Amino acid sequence: MTSPKKLGLQTVVFKNPPVIIASACIAGPKEAQGPLGHTFDKTIDDLYYNESTWEKAEQKIFQETLELAIYKSGLEIEKIDYLLAGDLTNQIIAANFTARNIGIPFLGLYGACSTMYEGLALASMLIDGGYAEYVLVGASSHYATAERQFRFPIEQGVQRAMSAQWTVTGAGAMLLAAQGAGPRITHATVGKVIDFGEGDASDMGAAMAPAAADTLLKHLSDTGRTLEFYNLIATGDLGKYGRELVVRLAEQQGVKPSHTYQDCGVLIFAEEQDAHAGGSGCACSAVVTCGYILNEMNRGRIKKFLGIGTGALLSPCSCQQGETIPGIAHAVAIEM
């Protein structure tokens, strides 16, 4: 028996589309200096944020972001059914400790840098399925914690490859509701893990791009929509080289992305900021979506948006064992 809410191979359509009733984002000092700095709710001055470690700073940013989204919604915290959240640190400790302090029933997620969009897809299923009325979704990352875990401690001063991206410091959160006013999540396309054999941790855009292209093409095929249906399509954190690869892969399948296709990792930093290939990290798509994109939607400048959260599924262990870097991408359609 076919699910009445399933479209094609990988997409679900929400019969009662969840509403984004509130969002919040906090970003770091480098992000504040970028072209989208004015769209964030708050920015911090230094990576330690008055804490003793970078990991504690990330957890503090995450908690403040979730609390700000709750405050902006006007809801009592007891009314929120679930918190879906994750980050990049080992065993998602930023999300775990934040959930400990906030006290909302918690489902921890790890989709690497696709975590925000994975959370939006799952939260929408919970609400549309009648299992929840309010779900809080969030994701965070931190430049220094990610560098220490996945590459080299920044104190070593290791020269970064030009294909490397700058992990975004910050966090984003959205509060979804069964009813209310605001942008609605209408579709979600759950991606497959795709591995083209890329193994360079300094070129994760190339590792994620095949998954992003695959999910984009599946979404268009499943829904019958075209690229022109959306005012904006944005991948999560491929950077400029990964974005170029998505364009080439899509063109090989007869789909030609236009100027409406962007990447959050390209949007968040200016060329003169020397972020090399652009931004990355869980917070990249989270802060760009919760800040710039939702602001544009609420002002009526964007009415139909397709976000494709992208993630590189590697770990220090897998890299040390010579494994390749699989990619994942989840697409969520948000419409006014």
Bridge partners, 330 (sequence order): 309
- For tokens 């906090």, what's the residue? 26
pLDDT of residue 149: 72
What architecture does CATH give domain 184-335?
A: 3-Layer(aba) Sandwich (3.40)
Say which DSSP state 243 is in: H
User: What is the C-alpha separation between 237 and 330, in angstroms, rounded?
Assistant: 12
Comparing C-alpha atoms, which of 258, 257, 190, 187 is closest to residue 223? 187
Q: What pTM does this model have?
A: 0.96
Could you report the per-residue pLDDT of 237-255, keeping only the tens digit for each? 999 999 999 999 999 999 9
Inter-residue contact 2 to 53 (CB < 8 Å): no
Running DSSP on this structure, what letter comes out for residue 16? S
Residue-level pLDDT at 127? 98
pLDDT at 162: 65
Start and end residues for every CATH 3.40.47.40 domain found in the chain: 6-177, 184-335
Identify the residue whose tokens are 């591995």: 195
Instruction: Encode the chain (336 residues) as per-residue pLDDT tens digits.
Output: 578 899 999 999 999 999 999 999 999 999 999 999 999 999 999 999 999 999 999 999 999 999 999 999 999 999 999 999 999 999 999 999 999 999 999 999 999 999 999 999 999 999 999 999 999 999 999 999 988 777 666 666 667 766 677 899 999 999 999 999 999 999 999 999 999 998 888 788 899 999 999 999 999 999 999 999 999 999 999 999 999 999 999 999 999 988 899 999 999 999 999 888 889 999 999 999 999 999 999 999 999 999 999 999 988 888 778 899 999 999 999 999
Half-sphere exposure of 23 (CA within 13 A, CB side): 28
Which one is the CATH code of 6-177: 3.20.20.70, 3.30.420.10, 3.40.47.40, 3.90.1170.50? 3.40.47.40
Rounded CA gap, 145 and 62, in Å? 14
In this prediction, residue 42 carries a pLDDT of: 98
